[in-house]
């Protein structure tokens, strides 16, 4: 099989990655009133191999959600703001407008159902399609990062890492500044160098001649 088995059978692995993907996606939406809310939203801590295996699974789900975005925008054109089962809504439902809306939104609904079949969690699918898909609209892949932690797990010394969504805590690149050199100085330096070179050659000839003399004397 492809990838790591992680000491689990197929169904166990599937269920585990489903749970992990749900946890990671749901961690984006933070409930401010919750006392036990996590400090860094959009992040889960696991072992390094599990984090690495989770990465493609989550990224494929995001690609799925991103595909639905244009259909939703298109369907918005024919949608209605009226409350469900109100008289206005009923007229819209009977009209051609609804038919168009239905046609336009159908692919998005299919994609949502596909995502749900993978996650089996309504809240996670909501967060995925409403928040994460919008966030990564302009990014062509690479939505998550895995970073290793220094501490190993107590008990089995498992190597730990966290997986989080890109966009926050991004690495800041500091460009190294090239040293600024004024033009006047460089010209002077060049002049000096040539001068020293000529001096050296003169010295060399002198020493050679003196050496010749010394050999003659001896």
Partner 1 sequence: MAVPKRRMSKSQGRKRRSHNAIKKVQLSYCVQCGTPAPSHVVCPNCGYYQGRTLVETEE
When asked if residue 34 is in the footprint of partner 1 (CB under 8 A), the reply is no
Among 171, 177, 180, 216, binds partner 1 (CB under 8 A): 171
Q: Hey, what's the torsion of the CAs at 11, 17, 23, 24, to 10 degrees?
A: -170
Cβ partners under 8 Å of residue 77, min gap 6: 104
| Residue selected from 6, 8, 37, 40 as contacting partner 1 according to rule CB under 8 A | 40
- Judged by CB under 8 A, which stretch of 55-63, 99-107, 121-129, 147-155 contacts partner 1? 147-155
**What dihedral angle (degrees, nearest 10) is formed by the CA atoms of 80, 84, 88, 94?**
80
| Contact flag: residue 167 with partner 1 (CB under 8 A) | no
**Contacting residue, 76, 86, 103, 169, with partner 1 by CB under 8 A:** 169
* C-alpha dihedral, 80 to 85 to 87 to 93, nearest 10°: 50
Cα–Cα separations (whole angstroms), residue 136 to 12, 70, 217: 30, 13, 88
Total chain residues near partner 1 (CB under 8 A): 13
Minimum CB separation of residue 171 from partner 1 in Å reads: 5
- Per-residue exposure over 166-186, b if at least 16 CB sit within 10 Å of its own CB, e if not: eeeeeeeeeeeeeeeeeeeee
User: In this structure, what are the phi and psi dihedrals at residue 127, rounded to the nearest 5 degrees?
Assistant: -60, -40
Q: Could you say whether residue 39 binds partner 1 (CB under 8 A)?
A: yes
- Segment contacting partner 1 by CB under 8 A, of 28-36, 88-96, 168-176, 189-197: 168-176
84 makes contact with partner 1 (CB under 8 A): no
Whether 100 contacts 78, CB under 8 Å: yes
Part of the chain binding partner 1 (CB under 8 A), chosen from 67-75, 115-123, 166-174, 204-212: 166-174
| Rounded Cα–Cα distance for residues 120 and 113 (Å) | 9
Please list every residue from 119 through 138 that binds partner 1, using CB under 8 A. none
Q: Residue 174 interacts with partner 1 (CB under 8 A)?
A: yes
Q: Minimum Å distance from CB 157 to partner 1? A: 12
Q: Is the dihedral of CA 10, 11, 14, 20 positive or negative?
A: negative
The residue from 148, 153, 187, 200 that contacts partner 1 (CB under 8 A) is 148
- In the complex, the smallest distance separating the C-beta of residue 100 from partner 1, rounded to whole angstroms, is 48
107 or 158: CB nearest partner 1: 158
- Please state the closest distance from residue 131 (CB atom) to partner 1, in A: 22
Residues making contact with partner 1 (CB under 8 A):
39-40, 147-151, 169-174
């Amino acid at each position: 099989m492809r990838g790591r088995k992680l000491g689990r059978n197929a169904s166990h692995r599937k269920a585990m990655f489903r749970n992990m993907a749900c946890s990671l996606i749901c961690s984006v939406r933070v409930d401010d009133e919750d006392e036990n809310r996590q400090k860094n939203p959009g992040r889960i801590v696991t072992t390094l191999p599990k984090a690495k295996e989770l990465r493609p699974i989550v990224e494929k789900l995001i690609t799925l959600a991103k595909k639905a975005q244009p259909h939703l925008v298109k369907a918005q054109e024919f949608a209605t703001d009226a409350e469900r089962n109100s008289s206005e809504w009923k007229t819209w439902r009977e009209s051609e407008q609804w038919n168009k809306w239905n046609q336009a939104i159908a692919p998005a609904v299919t994609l949502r159902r596909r995502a749900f079949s993978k996650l089996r969690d309504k809240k996670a699918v909501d967060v995925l399609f409403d928040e994460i898909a919008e966030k990564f609209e302009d990014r062509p892949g690479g939505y998550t990062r895995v970073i290793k932690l220094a501490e190993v797990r107590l008990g089995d010394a498992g190597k730990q890492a966290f997986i989080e969504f890109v966009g926050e805590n991004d690495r800041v690149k500091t460009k190294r500044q090239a040293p600024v050199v004024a033009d006047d100085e460089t010209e002077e330096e060049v002049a000096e160098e040539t001068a020293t070179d000529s001096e050296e050659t003169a010295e060399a000839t002198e020493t050679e001649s003196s050496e010749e003399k010394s050999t003659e004397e001896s």
